[in-house]
Amino acid sequence: MIALGQFLEVLIGGLMSGVLYSLVALGFVLIFKASGVFNYAQGAMVLLAGLALVRALDLLVANGLPLWVAVVLAIGFAAVIMAATAWLIERLVIGPLVNQDALTLFMSTIGVTFVIEGAAEMIFGSDVYPLRLFPTDAWFLFEGLFPGGILVNKLDVWGALIAGVLVAGLAVFFQRTKTGRALRAVADDHLAAHSIGIPISWIWFVVWLVAGLVALVAATVWGTKLGVQFSITFLALKALPVLIIGGLTSIPGAIVGGLIVGAGEKLAEVYLGPSIGGGIEYWFAYVLALAVLLLRPQGLFGERIIERI
Amino acid sequence: MRAPDTNEILLEVEGVALAFGGVKALRDVSFNVRKGEIRAIIGPNGAGKTSMLNVVNGFYHPNHGAITFKGRTRAKMQPFEAARGGIARTFQNVALFKGMSALDNIMTGRTLKVRRGLLWQVLRYGPALAEEVEHRRKVEEIIDFLEIETIRKVPVGRLPYGLQKRVELGRALAMEPDLLLLDEPMAGMNLEEKEDMSRFIIDVNNHYGTTITLIEHDMAVVMDLSDRVAVLDHGVKIADGTPAEVKMSQAVIDAYLGVAH
């Protein structure tokens, strides 16, 4: 029973942290689906959202506002910052590059990354800022079944809940609303979307805004876990194998990919670590992604691209 | 039933000129489209037909000239604004949303008609549900009309070319446009498909009373279909009138058959 208990504990811990990878990967998928742009700046946007949130929160609390009022106001402030960022990116970068090659657009988002990182640290500061939005203490489940119970971090549970709500919301948005349908239409064919009366610049603003808000959600959870700091941008690197495994065009893919990476790396660390050496967590995801690339290049849930010759 | 042929002018194009760098795509082209008619613009390849359509639709902005639609002379206009004004179109090389089913493609044509707010759409409750049902009913009617019931759930990327063209026509019809622009609706089709498409175009005009402007380089199809035909060659209008008149024009014969210099 101890062995099973330990296995479950590792598995649950892994799945929970996988959800957090999914949150970051989601932002990539959204923008890629709706505009065919691989947005390298997603990690930087998480940093920007986190900094705006935590700095506003500290300031408001220092001025004696009750905590819940401060939290609501700070989240509102961060959302406005993300909206402004989305608007500027559409106006200054993506809009003028309409109909350009996908690689050109990708390169431009690398530029956007540096600008956002620099601006965010210049405006909001570059220290490590602790964020306390969710409880971070441990929780012991099934103590009757397993000796000592199964340890679960409450923060991870919150993260999973939030991710679930977010994904459900996005799915409904894409499937049911005319804006959601328009987003899918723009992704498929710019010209045709124009001709049925969809204003592309507005749609792109909406996409970047949604990706910005997803970044904000990711920032609340990651910020609580690690503190808001520059290294949060490296999360984007962890999202890459998640995207490759799940498929770049699939929202469920981002979720499942995150879960696979999270659970896989924790299990590998615990069970393979003793025999082949530790530190597996750091490279496991990339090796898995490589294997997926070899066997199923479009990812588990990605759309298969069939070229007629 | 056929919309009565009034002499009301729906679209007036006056003295339009369009140049790309040194290439003059259109030179001082004028023509009009009457409400309820099928109006063709024909000409050999490179005559400027698609450019003309793109100007009307807002993809291109003319260097000179004026365009008056529904009595309003318009300033520089974006394609989505033209769509809002009631102009729908199809494309020469089919521009569909390839990953979506035929049904979803045609549903996107209803985008501009959705009236309820975002929250209502998400909840899909009460008035928003009634509205969604109404859009869907309209779309199913178009699907029946175009005889594509059996392929409604198929992703359009997998359909043969002729059917893709029909789905694209369906999407344009779903917008319930005042003016329907068709860019070479018969291009790349075999004889049977061409006959089907001709029938649909005439039916659309009869059944919905939609004013249609179409572009073709195949003269034979157009002559049977159209009320009036304008002929372009090298960006200049060289003839305009009923099919019979145009057929007799020496300039048209020269343009199509070539003339000894």
**How many folded domains does chain A comprise?**
1
pLDDT of residue B259: 65
Which amino acid makes up residue B109?
G
pLDDT of residue B3: 47
What is the 3-state composition of chain B as percent helix, strand, coil, each rounded to the nearest 5?
40, 25, 35
A188 inside domain: yes
In chain A, what is the straight-line distance between the N-terminal and C-terminal CA atoms, in Å? 58
Q: Are A14 and A265 in contact (CB under 8 A)?
A: yes
Chain A hits for B99, Cβ within 8 Å: 184, 188, 303
Residue B165 and residue B10: Cα distance in Å, rounded? 26
Position A278 pLDDT exceeds 80? no
pTM: 0.75
A255 inside domain: no
Mean pLDDT taken over chain A = 84
Chain A hits for B80, Cβ within 8 Å: 194, 197-200
Position B2 pLDDT exceeds 60? no
Q: Quick: pLDDT tens for B29-73.
A: 888 899 989 999 988 887 888 888 888 888 888 888 888 888 888
List the single residue in A176, A184, A198 with the smallest CB-CB distance to B100.
A184
A194/B59 touch (CB, cutoff 8 Å), yes or no: yes
Tell me the pLDDT band of B128, cut-offs 50, 70 and 90.
confident
Q: How far is A173 from chain B (nearest CA, A)?
A: 6
Q: How far is A197 from chain B (nearest CA, A)?
A: 4
Q: Which residues of B207-222 are buried (b: 16+ CB within 10 A; e: fewer)?
A: ebebbbbbbbbebebb
Residue A151 and residue A10: Cα distance in Å, rounded? 9
A203 interfaces chain B, CB cutoff of 8 Å: no
Q: Which two tokens stand for residue A18?
A: 């996988």
Residue A176 and residue B164: Cα distance in Å, rounded? 24
Task: Choose from A178, A248, A304, A308 for mutation: most chain B CBs within 10 A.
Answer: A178
Q: How far is B235 from chain A (nearest CA, A)?
A: 24
A168 interfaces chain B, CB cutoff of 8 Å: no
Give B155's DSSP letter: B
CA-CA-CA-CA torsion for A158, A160, A162, A163, nearest 10 degrees?
A: 160
pLDDT of residue B1: 42
pLDDT of residue B123: 64
B112/A306 touch (CB, cutoff 8 Å), yes or no: no
Chain B hits for A185, Cβ within 8 Å: 97, 100, 108, 111
A306 interfaces chain B, CB cutoff of 8 Å: yes
pLDDT of residue A143: 67
Q: How far is A187 from chain B (nearest CA, A)?
A: 8
Q: How far is B169 from chain A (nearest CA, A)?
A: 12
What is the ipTM metric for this complex?
0.73
Position B252 pLDDT exceeds 70? yes
B175/A196 touch (CB, cutoff 8 Å), yes or no: yes
B111/A198 touch (CB, cutoff 8 Å), yes or no: yes
A135 interfaces chain B, CB cutoff of 8 Å: no
Residue B257 and residue A179: Cα distance in Å, rounded? 50
Residue A203 lies in domain: 20-233
B84/A197 touch (CB, cutoff 8 Å), yes or no: yes
Within 8 A by CB and 6+ apart from B8, the residues are: B34, B35
Q: Which class is B95-176 in CATH?
A: alpha beta
CB count within 10 Å of CB A231 equals: 11
Is CATH 3.30.230.10 what the domain over B1-86+179-261 is classified as, yes or no?
Answer: no
Task: Choose from B80, B90, B164 for mutation: most chain A CBs within 10 A.
Answer: B80
A191 inside domain: yes
Q: Quick: pLDDT tens for A154-212.
A: 888 888 888 888 888 888 887 777 788 788 787 777 778 888 888 888 888 888 999 99
- 3-state SS of B76-125? CCCHHHHHHHCEEECCCCCCCCCCCEHHHHHHHCCHHHCCCCHHHHHHCC
A306/B157 touch (CB, cutoff 8 Å), yes or no: yes
A67 inside domain: yes
A305 interfaces chain B, CB cutoff of 8 Å: no
Short-list A97, A116, A94, CA closest to A43: A116
Domain with CATH 3.40.50.300 in chain B: 1-86+179-261, 95-176
A192 interfaces chain B, CB cutoff of 8 Å: yes
